Structures are given as C-alpha cells and as structure tokens.
Structure 1
Amino acid sequence: MLKSLWLETAYPRDTYAPPSSDTSCDVCIIGGGLCGVTTAYLLAKAGKKVLLLEKDRILEGASGNTTGKLTTQHDIVYADLIKKFGEESAKLYYKTNDAAIRFAEYIAEGDELRSTHSVLFARTDKGIETLKFEADAYKALGIPFDRRLNWELPISVKETLTLSNQAQLHPVRFGQHIAKLAVAEGVQLCEKSDVRSMDLKEKSLQLSSGIVVTFDELVLCTHYPIEALRGMNILKLEVKRSYLLSAPADMPLQSQYLSVDEPKRSIRTVFIDGRSHFLLGGEDHKAGVTSDTDLHYNRLAEELQSTYYLGEPIHSWSAQDPSTPDLIPYAGPISAAMPYVHICTGFRKWGMTNSIAAAKIVTDQITGQQNPAIALYAPDRTGFGTLLFQALKTTGFVLKEFTGGHIARTNAPICTHMGCRTRWNKGDETWDCPCHGSRFRKDGSVLEGPATRPLNFKNDAH
C-alpha cells in the first residue's frame, strides 16, 4: 500500500497498550483520529475519566491521509448554507470552524501549524459566477475576503476569492501532540483495541481480546459510525474518495488553493524538517466504484510534471470521507432514544476544522456547557423530506451495488458489514466496498469501517 507524506514524517511513534483487564469509564471514545484524540483531551480537561479505543494505531486513518488544510473556506459552502439554514446558522458555522483554527493555533508547536491564506480560484466563466455568489454570501455574513488576483501558480485563472488568517497542519504531528496532552490529562489511550460487540442498553462493549468496557457516555469518532443503523444515519451519509501526491519542490507557496471548476484540484506546499513539498490533490469519485485507481494517481502525476515541472511524486495516498445531506457534519447524540451515544462524522473532506469543532460540541454537550453549535450539528436536525430524498438516492445506489456486485464480481470477497461484494483497488492494494465505504487490506484485515470483521477468503471465492 501507498503511504502519505504525513505518516512518513510523523514524530517517533509512542505505543499505547490495549486494556489488560475489564474497565469502566465516564466516557468511552471509539476512534483515534484527530476528532477522537481532541475529544478525549477536552473531556479529560473537563474532569471526565476517558478511555479511547483505536483498532489499529492512532492517526493512521482519515487524519493521516488528508490535505492538512485548516480553513473556514470549505469549498463553495456559504451561499448554500444561507439558502438551506439562513444567515444566522451560516454565520455560526463559520464562527465554529474559525474557533477550531484558533484552538489549533493555541495548541500547536514547532512546524505542526503554519499560517496561510486560503484561495478559491475559477478558470471558466461558470466558475466566475460561482465565486460571485460565494463572495456575496461572505459579504452578507461579514466574512472578510479579498478578490484581488495575487497569483503564484503556473496556470491561468480568471477570478479568485481569498480568506486570510487561515492555517495548514501537519495533521499527524499535531494529532500526536494532542494525544500526549490527553494522556497527561489522564486519558487511557489504547491502540490495537478492536471492538467486537456493543450492548448499548447495558452501556458496555467487548473487545476482540474479550475485555469488557462499561461506560456512562459513548462517542463514536469512527468516520462511518458502527452503530449508525440505529438512527438510520447509514442511509444519510455518502462516501467519496480523493487522491493526493507530493513531490519535493523549492517553491513554498504563500497560500493554499482549491479550484471551483472541474476537474477539482487542491494545491498547497508544506515545509517539514527543512524540506519543502508540493501537494496536488483531486480526482474525486464515489468510494469503491472503480478498480483501476492507478488512473487517478497517473493523471495527477502527469499534471505534476507537465504543469508544475516537478519530478516523480515521492508520496501518493488517498482518503475517503462521508458527507451529510445538508453540508453540515453530525456531532451529538445518535438518536433521542439513546442520548448517551454520540457520533462525529460527515466532515465532507474538511475534517481538520470540523473534527476539532465536533470535539468541542460533543464535549460541551456531555459536560452540560452552553454551545450554540450543538443544535446546528445535531444528527437529528434535518427535515424528513431532505433525509428521505438522500436515503432513497443513496440506498438505491447501495441496492444496485449489492445485487450487481454479486453478479458481476463473483470472484471478489464479500464485505463483512452488510454483504456487498468488494472491489479490488489496484492503486492502494485494498478491497473496497462500494455500498458503505468499508475498506480491507490485502490480507483481509479491516482498514476502515463500518465493517468490524476481516474478510473471509476461505468461504469467499476470490
């Protein structure tokens, strides 16, 4: 498998032992990405006894395979948020994510964070119109912006929309730092701690090792929630995959960039241990629907060389992220029937700010603190019509893949989550499920959920 620049340049790894005996806690967190470790840190600082369980190693999932952009400029979003929620809610979304940036600036050390500008750019007349609507939204919300064309890339553009006072992260080093702070606050952080089963009514779970954990509150920071079927959230999340390359480059950029036209491209540089790297991302598609993922890497690699005159990429990686039907992530109780089971998911590829924001929202809800974003991010906030439409659209795709996959891909192993046929991902050397986004390593072990059990090659023809 390919490995990201962030994972290759992480701090020396600490290891966190799994529980050695049955244990209890105030709050159990499942998932050791940036959202999980930040939630653990904040809850421990608030006086809670916290146990965090990670099935592999912390920060090696979505958090270790991101662009590392820490920004309130989440593509074209504010014009749509005003239309869906009104100006006050759109302004609250901005303020919540801006507060996440300021939190990270306060916590980060060394080269874990760098201040920068975020720039949306248009290369077509249609893109110019898109930027105009978004700039109008910024103006209505009081978001300071700049339309001047201060351009530093070797491609032609027609318009830009810039936000200053934004940031970039080394997401793994930053997450490792927060994990150390969490442990210092008393968090029991456990790796190689795979959850086998849950009894949510009894507030307990069992690990694959047989260890039993009991809790008062449970927070699922597992990207695609294991227990999402309870609140039907599994029908509300659409999963997309995108690709990234990096190459050495003596061209540190002053800003980070995202195109509004197709094909979408994300561009930034990063400075690590005295070396500058150029990052190019894009090639989005629904997770699990293509086998020849090398095509996506190859397109980016060709562009890296022909447009930016750089050499062969040194690092190549990909990530996937669920999206909710209305652009705003879920952070809070999974259903009214079980207010002590929380989810943090649906970051729509903007998980650096939104994972920190979600951690703060869930922490405030558990500790009884006032936070106006609690209602905005609540999993049960959306209207039935919107959910029904998304559920029908997504479920229709899932049902098609379930039946078609078993006919067309009879040699592929069956996903252990809900029985869909997986598809081999040639570029990343993984088995990917197109139904709900589960991913398995070449040996069948689980790489990303919602699946929790490995593939069974013995019973599946492959």
Structure 2
Amino acid sequence: MNNSLWLQTAYKKKPFPPLDKDVTCDVCIIGGGLSGIANAYFLAKEGIDVILLEKDTLLSGATGNSTGKLTVQHDLVYADLIKQFGHDHAKLYYDVNRKAMDFGRSFAEGDELRSADSVLFSQSRYGTEQLKAEKQAYDVLGIPGQLGRSSELPLKTDATLTILNETQIHPVRFGQHLAELAVKAGARIFEQTDVQLMDLKKRLLYTANKHEIQFRNLILCTHYPIEALRGLQILKLSVNRSYIASAPANMPLQGQYISVDKPKRSVRTVHIDGKTHFLLSGEAHVAGMEKETHIHYERLSTELKDIYQLEPFNYRWSAQDPSTPDLIPYAGAISTSMPYVFISTGYRKWGLTNSIASARIISDQIVGRENKAIALYAPDRTGFGSFLLQALRNTGLVLKEFTGGHITRTDSPICTHMGCRTRWNEADQTWDCPCHGSRFRNDGSVLEGPATKPLDLS
C-alpha cells in the first residue's frame, strides 16, 4: 500500500474506541470522512444525539487521499451548470460551496489551512476558449475571477483564470480538529466498528461484533452508499481513480493550479511543520479497469523531475471519486419511501467543500430548517436525460465485467458486493472491483465499499 502525505503527517491523537455495546441514537452516521464528521458536528451543535461509526480510522479514506483544496473553483463547472440548471441553481451551487469554505476558515488553526489563489490554466487554443466561456459564467454569477496569461509554474500557459484568496487545507488535521469539536458538542464517535447488516424498516444496524444500533435517522457517508440500490443511485454513479505524488520542495507556490487541457494535472504545495511539499496529481481512469497502475506514478515522477526540477517523490497515493451524471452531488433522503435514510456522495473530486455543504443540507433537513439547496442536491431529483444514459452505461459495464471477468480473470477473487471479478492493482497493492469501485487490501479485507465483506482468497 502507498501512503498519503496527509495520513503520515496527521496529528498524533488517541484513537476513538470501537463500539462495545448496544446503543440507541437520534442520528447514526456511517463513514468517518469529512462528510460524516461535518454531519456529526452540525447535528451535535443542534442538541441532536449523534453517533458516528467508522470501520477503520477517521479520515483514512477519500478525505485522507485528496489534494486538500478547499475552493469554489471546481475545475470547469459553472458554464456547464448554467446550461443544465440555469442561473439561479448555478449561483446556489457556488453560494453553498463558498459558505463551506468560509466555515473551514472559521475554525482551522496553524498548518490546517492557508490562503492560496485558485487557478485554471490552458496550454491550447481550445483550452483557452473553455476558460473564456467559464469566465463569462463567472461574470454572470458574480464570481470574482480574473483572466490572465502567465503563472508561477515553469510551464508555457496560454491563459489563466484565477479566483483570489481561496484556501487549501491539510485535510486530515483539519478533519481531526473538526472531530474534536463534534465530540465537544456531544457527538459519540467509534472507530474500528464495521456495520455489516442493516434492517432499515426496523431502523436497526448490526456490527461485525454483534452489537445493535437503534436509530431514528441514518446518514450514509461511505463514499459509495451501501444501500444505494434502493434509490438506484448505484446506476447513476461512475467511479474514477486518480494518482498523486509528493516531493520535497524549497519554495511554496502562491497558487493552486488545474490544467484544463489533457493530460489533466493538479498542482499545489503544502507547508507542514516547517517543511514544504510539492503535490502533482492526475492520470485518472475508471476505477478497477487497469492492472499496471504503477505507470501512472512513473509519469508523475518523470514530470516532477523534468518539468519541476524536483527529486523523486517521497509519498504517493491514489484517490477514488464517485461522480453523478449532472455535476451536482447527492445529499439528502435516499428515496421518498424512506425519508429517514440519507446519503451523501458523488463529489466529483471536489469533496472538501461539497462534504461540508452536503452536511449542512442534510442536517438542515433533519432539524427541519429551510435550505434552498435541498432540492438541488436531492438524490431523487429527476428529469435529466443524462441519468438514463449514465444508468445504461454503468449497467452495461457491470454486465460486461461480470461475464467477461469470470471468463478472462479466473484467478482473480470475486468481489463480495455483486460478484464481479476484481483486478489486482500493482502500484497500490489492492484488489479493485471495476463494477462499483469496491477495493480490498492484499489480505482481502475491505478498504473501500460498497462491499462490506472480505474477499475469499483461498
């Protein structure tokens, strides 16, 4: 397994205990990433009795393997949002993510957060045209963006689109701090507590250690929802994997950068405990569809050396990101038939602000507070033709991988979620499922869901 810079430089804190008895609560949250922690914090502040369950350790999943950008500049997105949803909803998306960023600034301390300009840059005529279209969307929505040409990167850039004074965070230290605040507000957090069975009609959960959790409301913050089949979200999410390499650096960058041309690249630096680290990420592909994944790290390593004149990386890791077909995450009740079961997923690589925004949306629903973004983020929203297309594509992929995988990869273990054959990920030393993104460690234990049971490696 590779190690994330964020996880290796986390605060040294006493772990939370595993659940060792039957409990009841107003709200149970499954998933100890930033999304689950933010939900726990917001609800506990309202006086709600909250329990958060994490099967491993807090922040060791998507949050701990992110790029750490807390920004409203989510790549090229606002021009597309206006086309799909109109001005008001595009502006609403910007507003809720801006509020999420401001919330992060309100409590972060020390190396947990610093200001940085967010910059999109192009190196081609087509990319520049895309930036101009995005700038027009900024102007319509009142987003303070600036078009330019040059950057501090040692790259030839044709154009840049900059939002000044955004933020970047150490996502694990940031999340650890928020977890402390949640506990002080009254939330109960349990690590090493694996939920293996749900009886949603009875509102009961059962852990691997045979303990029961009785809840009134349930929030699934497990990256890829365990119960997503009920609302067909499992047919509406695509899962992509991308790679990150970090190397020691002498000079921190003033900005955080994303290329709009191919190959896609994300660039930033981070200052931790007096040391500066340079982060380069990209090389995305559909999760579980490649075996020789080390080639992606090798490409990043070559660029670190040849373009940025840096030594070989000292940390490398990969991230997995579900995406909805219409750019907006799912945050809310999973279906009208079960209004007490909520999901939060589909962040499209922008899970830091969207985790906080989604947590605010769900917590407001639970306490009965008005939130204009509830309908925009609703998992059961309908009327988008792309939903059907995405469902057909994903269903086709599942059927293909289920039948073809059993024929061509007879030596690969079978995913315990829906029976697809996994693929060995050489670089990360994991078994990855190409159907719905489940991942397993080399000993067969579950690393990421929706699978909940280990592989049979016998």
In the other structure, the counterpart of 2:212 is 212
What per-residue deviation string (whole Å, max 9, x for no partner) do you get for residues 400-427 of structure 1? Answer: 1111111110000000000000000000
In the other structure, the counterpart of 2:445 is 445
Letter in 1 for 2:18: P
In the other structure, the counterpart of 2:312 is 312
**What is the TM-score with the length of structure 1 in the denominator?**
0.98
Three-state SS of the structure 1 residue aligned to 2:221 is strand
Letter in 2 for 1:73: Q
Please list, as runs of the form range in 1=range in 2, the aligned pairs for 1:21-40 lying within 5 A after superposition.
Answer: 21-40=21-40
In the other structure, the counterpart of 1:113 is 113
Are 1:328 and 2:324 an aligned pair? no
Please list, as runs of the form range in 1=range in 2, the aligned pairs for 1:215-254 lying within 5 A after superposition.
Answer: 215-254=215-254
Letter in 2 for 1:262: K
CA distance in 2, matches of 1:168, 1:333: 30
**What is the TM-score with the length of structure 2 in the denominator?**
0.99
- Paired residues in the alignment total 458
Question: Structure 2 regions of 5+ residues with no counterpart?
Answer: none
In the other structure, the counterpart of 1:284 is 284
What per-residue deviation string (whole Å, max 9, x for no partner) do you get for residues 65-115 of structure 1? Answer: 000001101010001000000000000000000000000000101110001
What per-residue deviation string (whole Å, max 9, x for no partner) do you get for residues 357-388 of structure 1? Answer: 01111010101111101111000113253321
Three-state SS of the structure 1 residue aligned to 2:145 is coil
Q: Percent identity?
A: 63
CA distance in 2, matches of 1:241, 1:148: 31
Contact 2:120–2:259, Cα closer than 8 Å, also in 1: yes
In the other structure, the counterpart of 1:407 is 407
After TM superposition, the structure 1 stretch with the greater mean CA deviation from structure 2, 16-25 or 199-208, is 16-25
CA-based RMSD: 0.7
Are 1:176 and 2:168 an aligned pair? no
CA distance in 2, matches of 1:98, 1:14: 32
Contact 2:150–2:159, Cα closer than 8 Å, also in 1: no
CA distance in 2, matches of 1:391, 1:196: 27
CA distance in 2, matches of 1:395, 1:312: 40
In the other structure, the counterpart of 1:356 is 356
Residue 165 of structure 1: CA displacement?
2.3
In the other structure, the counterpart of 1:338 is 338
In the other structure, the counterpart of 2:46 is 46
Are 1:423 and 2:423 an aligned pair? yes
In the other structure, the counterpart of 1:64 is 64
In the other structure, the counterpart of 1:393 is 393
CA distance in 1, matches of 2:240, 2:250: 32
In the other structure, the counterpart of 2:186 is 186
What per-residue deviation string (whole Å, max 9, x for no partner) do you get for residues 209-236 of structure 1? Answer: 0000000000000000000000000000
Are 1:6 and 2:6 an aligned pair? yes
Three-state SS of the structure 1 residue aligned to 2:148 is coil
In the other structure, the counterpart of 1:143 is 143
Letter in 2 for 1:184: K
Three-state SS of the structure 2 residue aligned to 1:60 is coil
Letter in 2 for 1:416: T
Contact 2:244–2:282, Cα closer than 8 Å, also in 1: yes
Letter in 1 for 2:448: E
In the other structure, the counterpart of 2:456 is 456
CA distance in 2, matches of 1:79, 1:251: 34
In the other structure, the counterpart of 1:153 is 153
Question: Structure 1 regions of 5+ residues with no counterpart?
Answer: none
In the other structure, the counterpart of 1:300 is 300
